[in-house]
Amino acid sequence: MTREHTVLFVDDEVNILKALQRLLRNENMNVVCASRGSEALEIMEKIPAQVVVTDQRMPEMTGVDLLSQVRERHPDVVRMMLTGYTEMNIAVEAINRGEIYRLITKPWNDDELRATIRQAFEQSDLKDEIKRLNQITREQNFKLQDMNRNLEAKVRERTKQLAAKHQELQTAYVQTVGALAEAVDAKDSYTRGHSERVGVYASKIAREMCFPKEFIERVYIAGLLHDVGKIGVPDRVILKPDKLNKEEYDLIKQHPEIGAKILEPVSFLSDVVPCVRHHHEWFDGCDRGYPARLVGDQIPLPSRIILVADTVEAMTSDRPYRKALDLDAVNSELTKYAGSQFDPTCVEAFLRLLGREGESFIKKDQKFDIYEFIEG
Ligand SMILES: [Fe+2]
Ligand SMILES: [Fe+2]
C-alpha cells in the first residue's frame, strides 16, 4: 500500500494541536490541524485524510456533530474522539450510535496515542484494500459474464452452422443416391420415375397411418432408394422385356441386398438400410419373399409400406408386356394379397387414401416436396 497517510486533528486549544504535531513528528504521516469543525470539513474537501481525531467541546460545532457530518460526507474516514473524562457520557453515546471508531482520553499516553493512530491507518488501509479487491472481483465478474455470453453466442452460431452443413450433406447424399436410383429407373423407359413415385406413395400411406414426421421422412427416403441395388444387376436382366428365367430372377432378387450394401457405409442412413433390404419380404413369411423370409412384425414397417407403394406404382405404369392397369385391378390385387404378401393395415391405409383421392393419387407428374408434405 503506497498511498500517503494523513491524520486531521480538530481542537480549539492551539497547545493541544501543537503537542499532537510534536508527538507525531517522526511518524511516517501527514498531520493536518483545524481549530473548528467547519474548518475541518473545509480541509477534508481538499486533503484526503484517512483519520480524523476531534475534541468534543468546541465553539460552533461539537466533536460529535462534526464526526456525524464526516460520516455522512466521507464514510470511509476513520473517526476518533479525544476527550476529557467530563464528556465521557457523550462520547460513549456517540460510539454506540456508530459515529466513532475509537475514543482517546485526555490526558493521553503518548505511546498509546501513536499506536492507536497507526491502528486507525491500518484499519483504513484494510477497508481500502477490500474495496479495491471487491472492485476487481466485480470487474472480472463482468468480464466473465461477457465472455460467457460471447461463448454461448459462438457455440449457438457454430451449432447452427454445423446443423446446416449436416442437413446440406444429408440432402446432397440423398440427391446423389436418388440420382443413382433414377439412373437405374431411366435405363428402362418403362420404369422412369418409379423410385420417386414409390417414395411419394409410401410417404402418403405412412401419413395416412398417422406416423410422426421423422418416420414419414424415413419412409420417403427408403422409398426413393429402395431399388438402388438394381445398379448392380446386369442390364440384360433389367432391360429384358420377356419373362425372366430362373437364373435371371435369382440375379434380380439380389437387388435389395446390393442396395443395402451401397447404403450401409453412410451413418445417417443406417435406419434406412433395413427398410431397403427387406422391401420384397412377404408378410406371411413364405418363400416368395426375399432375401430373409422375415414374417409380419419382423419386417421393418417402412418396408411393408414400400411394398404396397411399389406394387401400386408398378401396376399403374405401362410395361412392355402390358398397359397400365386401372385402380379397380389394383384394389382387387391388394385386397386379394392382404395378409399373405402385404401387411393388411398398410393395404387398408392405401385403400382409404384411394377412396378419398381416386385417380389423383397416382397422377404421374404430381409435384412433391417431402418437407412441405410432412409439415402440411
Ligand atoms: Fe425392388
Ligand atoms: Fe421397385
DSSP string, 156-207: HHHHHHHHHHHHHHHHHHHHHHHHHHHHHHHHSGGGTTHHHHHHHHHHHHHH
pLDDT lower than 70: segments of the chain: 1-2
Question: Ligand 1 centre and the CA of 227: distance in Å?
Answer: 5
Q: What is d(CA 57, CA 87) in angstroms, rounded to the nearest whole number?
A: 8
pLDDT for res 304: 98
Q: CA 206 to CA 200: how far, in whole Å?
A: 10
For residue 237, the CA-to-ligand 1 centroid distance in Å is 14
CATH 3.40.50.280 fits 188-375, yes or no: no
What pLDDT score was predicted for residue 75?
92
- Give the pLDDT confidence score for residue 301 in this predicted structure: 98
Ligand 2 centroid to residue 230 C-alpha, Å? 9
Q: Which ligand is nearest to the CA of 256?
A: 1
Nearest-angstrom CA–CA distance, 117 and 53: 9
| Tally of CB atoms within 10 A around 76 | 11
pLDDT in tens, 189-198: 778 889 999 9
State in Å: Cα 256 to ligand 1 middle.
6
Per-residue pLDDT reduced to its tens digit, 230-266? 988 998 998 888 888 999 999 999 999 999 999 898 8
**Among 23, 18, 48, CA closest to 33:** 18
pLDDT given at position 2? 59
Prediction pTM value: 0.60
Question: What is the Å distance from ligand 2's center to 326 Cα?
Answer: 19
Amino acid at 144: L
Q: Which ligand is nearest to the CA of 277?
A: 1
Query: Which cell is 321 given?
Result: 408386356
| Cα 226 to averaged position of ligand 1 atoms, centre (Å) | 6
Longest Cα–Cα distance of the chain, Å, equals 133
- Gap from CA of 199 to ligand 1 centroid (Å): 12
Q: Give the gyration radius of the chain's Cα atoms.
A: 47
| Ligand nearest to the Cα of 252, by number | 1
- C-alpha 304 to ligand 1 mean position (Å): 12
pLDDT for 177:
72
Q: Which of 179, 177, 176, 204 is nearest to 193 (CA)?
A: 179
Give residue limits of the domains in the chain: 6-132, 188-375
CATH number of 6-132: 3.40.50.2300
- Ligand at shortest distance from the CA of 279: 1
Point out the residues that are catalytic. Answer: 230
**Cis ω for the linkage preceding 48 (within 30 of 0):** no
What is the number of the ligand closest to the CA of 195? 2
